[in-house]
Amino acid sequence: MTGPDRAGTAAARLHAVARADLYRLNPFHRTGLPTDAPGRLVRQRRQQALTAQPDPLLRAAFDLLEQTEQRLVAELFWHWGEPGDCGCPAALHESHDAAVRAHAEVLDLEEQDVLRGRDRASRWGEAARAWAEALAHQDFWAHVGHRVRALRDRRLDESTVDGLRSGFAAALLGPQVALAAANRDAELIALLEVWAVEPELADQARVLAAEAELERGQALHEELGALQRAGEPAEAGRRAEVELIPLLDWLDIALPRHRFWRADRFRDSVAVLLNNCAMAEGMDLALAGELLADAAETAVDKDTRATIEQNLADLAETGVLRQVHTLLNANRYADAVRELLQLRAVTTEPADRAAIDGLLDEVNRVFLSTDAPNDASPRSGFQSVSAVVLLFLALIPTVAYLILPAGREVGPVVFLPTVLLAPVLMTVVHTRWFLGGPLQWKVEWGCLLNVLALAALVLVAIFIDWAAVLVVCVVFTIIGKPARAAGRFLARVIRR
């Protein structure tokens, strides 16, 4: 027949008292008795104290001292004083009592809510070091074994000492865990790291302290997920920003990512919720961008984060394209081109770049068509294009005249430079250089360029040959469409 599990019982007793009031409710503290007081002295003091002051709390403290298992646990967390018949070195009792004082003081200060910053970390570190020094003494558990024998209770034996030894580290962390959980104190949870205990035990303590917040977050996540699925993604997303994101910031302190699988799983579930809200049909682009940015920052799993980042990139592209179409509908061609060029600069996918190039070509086609409306952008736009065309029309006869001094007698040969240079003109018009340059000049510069271009054309007509200028304009009009097609082809080659 299996005997009683004294070790398990002792560990359970430790766990039961490991609260924030560990020292304040210690029966030796309430009764004023020394930890090595014999049973006769305990009974005598009980009669005297309760006769003078029938206090229920004091009576409960004496009751605990009459229960040997409870008393042994209470002795561990109170002053041992000068060594008596235990035969311990004085240094052991001194280090133990110093640990009790340091731990009790920091718990009292936490109850008063007066510890902050470095002082707080220093106090907890001091208590942890004091207990580590006491437990490192070779005679620590020998003293506990002596007390088991001194209490002369057949329910206590060496297995009781083993149970106390195995559960003592967790009991030291217990009051801090209880305080942190009660106050939702992420910083205090992080300070569990100061204890010289097994890392796994410290991690378990942190999870235990954050348990209530994790459960609250999971309940909120389920509520917002149901709201999103019910067709209210915008409301779910806004609430997630206000209620879930601060909780994730709290978790980053209490349960840092990549260390606690449960917290990481919760982070990923929040990231997926934010992503689903952002990608819902009809979602406002600005809100969707905020949600996706937070989702990407929140996600821990690499695949989840990659998916969200791709959605964020697609959303940015969608937003730019929507803006481009809005600008085109408002005849703001220069502004539309600028947006497309900025998007092209950050696009890496060949297919996406090809799509942007196609849209740029379409903008050019509409903008340079004979019936295109004037550009309504706060830039020169149409005026700069027309000025460049006029300059080239003035330049071509000039070049022809300089190359062929007898050009007036040559006749149709003067057409040749126009035919050859027209595709070059349209190529320049369709290159990114032109779109990023003259098309974004200020309106004043466009007007000035038009005046200069017209003046140049008039001067060429007066001083060189008005007939040649007229022929150039006619030829340019005739070959304009094929020239523009050739120019667009050459522009695509240049862009590649």
Confidence band (pLDDT; 50, 70, 90) for 343?
confident
Which of 223-232, 256-265, 279-288 has the weakest average pLDDT?
A: 279-288
Residues 98 and 177 in one domain: yes
Residues 415 and 463 in one domain: yes
Number of neighbours of residue 157 by Cβ within 10 angstroms: 15
Q: What is the average per-residue pLDDT within 399-419?
A: 57
Question: In 230-301, which ranges are continuous DSSP H helix?
Answer: 233-239, 245-254, 261-278, 285-298
User: Is 288 in contact with 234 (CB distance < 8 Å)?
Assistant: no
In a domain? residue 353: no
* Spatial separation of the C-alpha atoms in residues 50 and 352, rounded to whole Å: 87
Domain match, 35 and 169 both? yes
Using the 3D structure, point to which of 124, 154, 189 is the last residue of a domain: 189
Q: Is residue 290 part of a domain?
A: yes
When pLDDT is cut at 50, 70 and 90, the band that residue 370 belongs to is very low
Structure-token match 């406002």, residue found? 284
For residue range 193-228, list pLDDT tens digits in order: 999 999 999 999 999 999 999 999 999 999 999 999
110 within some domain: yes
- Listed in sequence order, the residues at least 6 apart from 360 whose beta carbon sits closer than 8 Å to its beta carbon are 337, 340, 341, 344, 432, 435
Co-location of 166 and 52 in the same domain: yes
Q: At what angle do helices 415-430 and 382-403 cross, to 10 degrees?
A: 150
Q: How far is CA 144 from the centre of its chain?
A: 49
Q: In the chain, how many domains are there? A: 3
For residue 279, is it within any domain? yes
Q: Which domain holds residue 233?
A: 208-298
Q: What is the DSSP letter of 137?
A: S
Domain shared by 32 and 180, yes or no: yes
Q: How many residues make up the chain in this entry?
A: 496
The reply to whether 181 and 226 lie within a common domain is no
Read off the pLDDT of residues 36-79 as tens digits, 9 standing for 90 and up: 998 889 999 988 888 877 788 889 999 999 999 999 999 999 99
Distance CA 226, CA 229 (A): 5
Cα-Cα-Cα-Cα dihedral of 197, 198, 199, 203, to 10°?
-80
- pLDDT one-digit tens code per residue, 261-275: 999 999 999 999 999
Same structural domain for residues 126 and 212? Answer: no
Token pair listed for 100: 């009790």
Residue 140 sits in the same domain as residue 236: no
Beta strands (DSSP E) in 99-178 are: none
Q: Rounded to an integer, what distance in angstroms lies between the CA atom of residue 195 and that of residue 135?
A: 12
Residue 462 pLDDT more than 50?
Answer: yes
Which amino acid is residue 46, in one-letter code?
R
Number of helical H runs and strand E runs in the chain: 24, 0
In a domain, 426, yes or no: yes
Over the stretch 89-137, which tens digit does the pLDDT of each residue have? Answer: 999 999 999 999 999 999 999 999 898 889 999 999 999 999 999 999 9
Is the Cα torsion angle 46, 48, 49, 52 positive or negative in sign? positive
396 within a domain of the structure (yes/no): yes
Same domain, 178 and 225: no
Helix-strand-coil percent breakdown of the chain, rounded to 5? 80, 0, 20
Q: Does 321 map to a domain?
A: no
Give which of 461, 443, 325 is closest to 386, Cα–Cα.
Answer: 443
Residues 170 and 220 grouped into a single domain: no
Element of type H or E holding 106: helix 90-112
Could you tell me if 183 and 217 lie in one domain?
Answer: no
For range 153-173, the mean pLDDT: 90
Nearest-5° Cα angle at 285, 279 to 291: 60
What are the DSSP calls for 321-373, one per residue?
HHHHHHHHHTT-HHHHHHHHHHHHHH---HHHHHHHHHHHHHHHHHHHSTTPP
Cβ neighbours, 10 Å, residue 9: 16
In this structure, are 149 and 225 located in the same domain? no
- Residue 428: predicted pLDDT: 55
* Amino acid code (one letter) for 188: L
CA–CA distance, 338 with 144 (Å, rounded to integer): 80
Non-local CB neighbours of 355 within 8 Å, separated by 6+ positions: none
Establish if 365 belongs to a structural domain.
no
Q: Phi then psi for 96, rounded to 5 degrees?
A: -65, -45
Domain boundary among 248, 263, 298: 298
Final residue belonging to a domain, choices 236, 268, 298? 298
The answer to whether 291 and 277 have CB atoms below 8 angstroms apart is: yes
